[in-house]
Structure 1
Amino acid sequence: MAIDLDKVLDKAWADKPLAEVLAAPVAALKGVTDKDGELLQEAFGVKTVADFGQLKYARWAQALVALNQTTK
C-alpha cells in the first residue's frame, strides 16, 4: 500500500525515516494537534504514532468500516 506522506504527516515529519515517525508524538500526523495528543494520552495512553496505529478501538472501528464495505 502506497501512502503519500505529505498528505498524512506534518511537513516537519514527511522526510523522516519511518522508525522516527512511528516514535513521534501523534501530533506528527497532519490535522492532529498537541492538545489532541494530550487527550489521546489521557484517554487511551497513546503517546506515539505507533501507539495510535495499534489502538484497539481504532482497529475495531476500521474492521467495522471494512465489514460495512463488503455488505454494500
Structure 2
Amino acid sequence: MASIDLDKVLDKAWADRSVPDILAAPVSALKGVSDRDGELLKEAFGVTTVRELAGLKYVRWAQGLAALDTAR
C-alpha cells in the first residue's frame, strides 16, 4: 500500500485529522481545492466529500488511463 504525506495533500486545518474524518471532509480539505471548486464539483457531479471525489467514476477512469500510459 502506498503511503501519502498528508501535509502535502491536505489543507493545514485537516493535516492532523483521522483518515475517516478526512474522507468525510469537504473536498476543500484537499490542498489547492477552494470552496468555490467544491461548489463547482457539487454542481457538476454531486460530489461534496473527499470520499465521494475519490469514488467518482470519472476520477477512476482517468486513473485507469494514466496507469495504462505508465505501463508502456
Q: Report the TM-score, using the length of structure 1 for normalisation.
A: 0.97
Structure 1: how far apart are the matches of 2:50 and 2:70? 26
Q: In the alignment, which residue of structure 2 is the partner of 1:67?
A: 68
Which stretches of structure 1, 4 residues or longer, exceed 4 Å deviation after superposition?
none
Q: In the alignment, which residue of structure 2 is the partner of 1:58?
A: 59
Letter of the 2:33 partner, please give it. Answer: V
Q: Residue 26 of structure 1: CA displacement? A: 0.0
Q: Residue 23 of structure 1: CA displacement? A: 0.4
Q: In the alignment, which residue of structure 1 is the partner of 2:41?
A: 40
Q: Report the TM-score, using the length of structure 2 for normalisation.
A: 0.97
Equivalent residues, number: 71
- RMSD, aligned CA: 0.4
Letter of the 2:3 partner, please give it. Answer: A
Q: Residue 20 of structure 1: CA displacement? A: 0.6
Structure 1: how far apart are the matches of 2:55 and 2:9? 17
Q: In the alignment, which residue of structure 2 is the partner of 1:13?
A: 14
